[in-house]
């Protein structure tokens, strides 16, 4: 005697959906799994920023003029593992010697010229870009920017 099996349409649909999900997951893992695993420790992306020197002046009520120099933009965000290039361009001020504290990078920006530094963001933290000739209020500063590595 032959047996007859009755399969409900809802079970067929659920089975097909599960199979499609498994096949799709396998496909994604085979094509993207290796690159996703390799990038989990950091993006390794190439990031390039242009930073300009800017000056702000203000006249006080007593007629005295005060000024301050800044890096613009003042805050940069990168990911651990990124290949970072900073292109400093001098707009205001004759020259600005700088250091990036914690990264052992030093340089000098001159008015009308570009200074380029590159590094790999291999440690997390907040790193100050400090102009050593404008380090506090008495020197029209502080001229400080920040690189934040996550």
Per-residue pLDDT of the chain (150 residues; tens, 9 = 90+): 666 667 666 565 455 444 444 454 444 444 444 333 333 445 789 999 999 999 999 999 999 998 889 999 999 999 999 999 999 999 988 999 999 999 999 999 999 999 999 999 999 999 999 999 987 778 877 899 999 999
Q: How many CA atoms lie within 13 A of 135 on its CB side?
A: 9
Residue 134 to residue 69: CA distance in whole angstroms = 7
Question: Where are the chain's structural domains?
Answer: 9-40, 46-149
Convert the pLDDT of each residue in 26-52 to its tens digit. 444 444 443 333 334 457 899 999 999
- The architecture in CATH of the region 46-149 reads Sandwich (2.60)
C-alpha dihedral sign at 75, 86, 49, 136: positive
The CA distance from 120 to 44, in Å, is 8
Q: What's the rounded Cα separation, in Å, for the pair 132 and 105? A: 13
Q: Which strands, in side-by-side order, build the sheet including 95-100?
A: 75-78, 144-149, 125-131, 95-100, 105-110
Please tell me the total number of residues recorded for the chain in this structure: 150
In tens, the pLDDT along 6-17 reads 766 656 545 544
């Amino acid at each position: 005697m032959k047996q007859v099996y009755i399969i409900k349409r809802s079970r067929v649909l659920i089975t097909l959906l599960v199979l499609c999900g498994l096949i799709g997951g396998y496909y994604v893992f085979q094509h993207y799994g290796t690159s996703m695993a390799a990038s989990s420790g950091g993006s390794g992306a190439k990031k390039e920023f242009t930073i300009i020197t800017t000056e702000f002046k203000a006249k006080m009520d007593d007629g005295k003029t005060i000024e301050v120099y800044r890096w613009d933009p003042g805050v940069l965000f990168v990911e651990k593992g990124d290949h970072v290039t900073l292109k400093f361009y001098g707009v205001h001020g004759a020259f600005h010697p700088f250091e990036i504290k914690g990264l052992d990078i030093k340089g000098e920006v001159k008015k009308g010229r570009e200074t380029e530094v590159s590094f790999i963001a291999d440690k997390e933290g907040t790193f100050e870009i400090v102009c050593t000739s404008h380090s506090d209020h008495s020197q029209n500063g502080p001229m400080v920017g920040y690189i934040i590595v996550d």
